[in-house]
Amino acid sequence: MPYVKPLPSFLTQRYHGWKATTYKENAAWYRKLATEGQHPRAMLITCCDSRVNVASMFGVDAGEFFIHRNVANLVPAFSPSGDHHGTSAAIEYAVTALKVSHLIVLGHSQCGGVKGCLDMCEGRAPELEEQTSFVGRWMDILRPGVERVKAKHPKELDEDEMAEALEKMSVNVALENLMTFPFINEAVDNDTLTLHGLWTDIGSGRLECLESKSR
């Protein structure tokens, strides 16, 4: 039984449209990118969520941003023989091989991954606690963040406030974990790399720049 099929026609049509317009108008640029390689200015780490249209929000053009997208824009702590290699590999490649100047973590509202983490920590999602749950084990990275959010807000938050606070905490945890990578620490020290934390509200389009963090 064949399990790989041709591209759905609605995408074929869009591709041909792109080829005849955007590509055609920029063919020289694309050719240059192919022969000279990429020199992206920044790495973006954001969520896979279909509503986070980062390419539109930042007018992303070919060659500009090295983009890693995973569930809930998480970054695990430095752990060279451990798990979660995909994200660490992307970061290593961007910082040590491409030497990007900016590393931007973008979180967002209504994040399903963050909500799953919260449900899991509150005992409302036993299926995510299973050893076999990939989403659960991935969201473990954010578990300590739940306690930190609670400690930070002595007055009890309602569910929506809690989710938003944890979404922002996931960006903070990612930034802190980035600093556990020796090559990032060094690049930040040498002023060849700056880190940035953002959170966007999908409904209103608002973009929040998260507070500066110090060592």
- Footprint of its own copies on residues 75-114 (CB under 8 A)? 80-94, 97, 99, 101-102, 104, 109-110, 112-113
Q: Calculate the alpha carbon distances from 175 to 104, 145, 166, 188 in Å.
A: 9, 13, 14, 12
> Shortest distance, CB of residue 147 to its own copies, whole angstroms?
21
What is the sign, positive or negative, of the torsion defined by CA atoms of 186, 190, 193, 197?
A: positive
Extract the tokens encoding 67. Answer: 């983009």
> Shortest distance, CB of residue 155 to its own copies, whole angstroms?
25
One-letter amino acid identity for 135?
V
> Shortest distance, CB of residue 123 to its own copies, whole angstroms?
19
> Shortest distance, CB of residue 166 to its own copies, whole angstroms?
17
Q: Phi and psi dihedrals of 207, rounded to 5?
A: -120, 125
Q: Taking every pair of C-alpha atoms in the chain, what is the biggest distance, in angstroms?
A: 58
With contacts defined by CB under 8 A, name the span among 47-55, 118-126, 147-155, 161-169 that binds its own copies: 47-55
Give the separation between CA 103 and CA 140, rounded to whole angstroms: 23
DSSP 8-state secondary structure symbol assigned to residue 8: P
Give the separation between CA 155 and CA 168, rounded to whole angstroms: 18
Q: Which of residues 14-43 bind its own copies (CB under 8 A)?
A: 14-43
Asked whether the beta carbons of 141 and 175 are under 8 A apart, the reply is no
> Shortest distance, CB of residue 119 to its own copies, whole angstroms?
12
**Which is nearer to its own copies, 48 or 152 (by Cβ)?**
48
**Which is nearer to its own copies, 122 or 208 (by Cβ)?**
208
Does 210 help bind its own copies (rule: CB under 8 A)? yes
With contacts defined by CB under 8 A, name the span among 117-125, 131-139, 143-151, 160-168 that binds its own copies: 131-139
Q: Which of residues 146-205 bind its own copies (CB under 8 A)?
A: 175, 179, 187-188, 191-198, 201-205
